[in-house]
Every structure is written in structure tokens, then in C-alpha cells.
Amino acid sequence: MIWEELLSVRPGIDPDFRSFLDSCITACKKTEWKPAVQTDIPVKSDKHDIIGMVDRIATDGTFSIIRAAGAMPFGTYSADRLRIASIALCLEEMTGKEVTGGHVEYIPDGVYRFHTVQPRDRRQVIATLHKIRAIHRGDRPHHPLNAPCNRCKYKERCESVGGRRLSDLL
């Protein structure tokens, strides 16, 4: 039944994904999942000028994001922590209530974990937003410590950018 629904949503999907779906279903049957009362809920923050999407809201009011990646042995990936923190900022502005964190559902492993948003997560979201805005203004980002330049696919473009802004020199 799920495969037929998937074909309705993505008619051109590679049939080889059927075995992946079957393995996800087998893994997920080993976990008791909280039922969702809402799905695909748009969220936004005017203060931070961000928008996003919550994948699921459970009956207890907690939210989840769904990942098609496997889970780490423990904890959550940094990108997932940032997404949870960003959604928390949006939900706090929308509801006026503190949001302590959210779940990450790692479907291939049938695992869900609650991530409590830490102050460092919020700081990293805000710092990332500042960097994005600077790039939109035309500023080139500074290389971070231990930048992975040697294996970066943008190395040539980054190093070949000619000239500097007069404001950088003065």
C-alpha cells in the first residue's frame, strides 16, 4: 500500500527503491511511534527572517523532522541540530511559548531521538544567518580555521575570485 502511494507521488521513481522502502518498514516496525496530529506544517520567524517546515506534530505537541539518512550510534547530526534549533526559533515566535527541542526520525533505522536545543545551537543558527546575509550583500565569507579547501568542490572558484572591495582595503 505504501509503495502504491509513493508511486502516486513520484511516478518515475526507480523500482529498486522498493527494497529500500521494505527495509525501512521492517526497521520502523521495531519502534513504537507517536501518532501525528498534523503533518507538513509551515513555520516562520519574522524576527530572524526564516521559514521552514515541520514534518510532524505529535499528540503531545512535540515536533519531529524526518530524515532519510541512517542514525548515528548516539546523538544527532549537526545539520539536524541546526534544523531543530531553527524550527524552535520559529515556533517560539509563532506560539509565544518556549520550545525546548524536537525529535529527529531516522527512518532507515527505525529510530527517533529527542534533541534538546542548546544555547550553542541557537548561536550557530544566528551566526549562520549573519553569514548568509553577508553573502547576499556580496561579501565573501572568511575561511574558517582548518578549512577543507583541498577537498572543496568550490576551491577554484573561491581562489580565482579576482579583485577586492575597496571597503575591504580602507
Q: Is the pLDDT of residue 90 over 70?
A: yes
Average pLDDT value for the chain: 90
Q: Is the pLDDT of residue 170 over 90?
A: no
**Residues 93 and 116 occupy one common structural domain:** yes
Q: Is residue 169 part of a domain?
A: no
**Residues 61 and 99 occupy one common structural domain:** yes
| 100-157: pLDDT as tens digits | 999 999 999 999 999 999 999 999 999 999 999 998 898 877 777 788 888 888 777 7
Structural domain count, the chain: 2
**Residues 68 and 118 occupy one common structural domain:** yes
Range of the domain at 105: 34-140
DSSP three-state, residue 117: coil
**Residues 65 and 12 occupy one common structural domain:** no
**Residues 46 and 116 occupy one common structural domain:** yes
Identify the DSSP state of 88.
H
**Residues 114 and 46 occupy one common structural domain:** yes
- Percent share of the chain, pLDDT over 70: 93
Q: Is residue 52 part of a domain?
A: yes
**Residues 52 and 128 occupy one common structural domain:** yes
Which strands make up the sheet holding 50-58, listed edge to edge? 36-45, 50-58, 63-67, 101-106, 111-116
Distance set, CA 105 to CA 28, 77, 79, 152 (Å): 10, 12, 14, 29
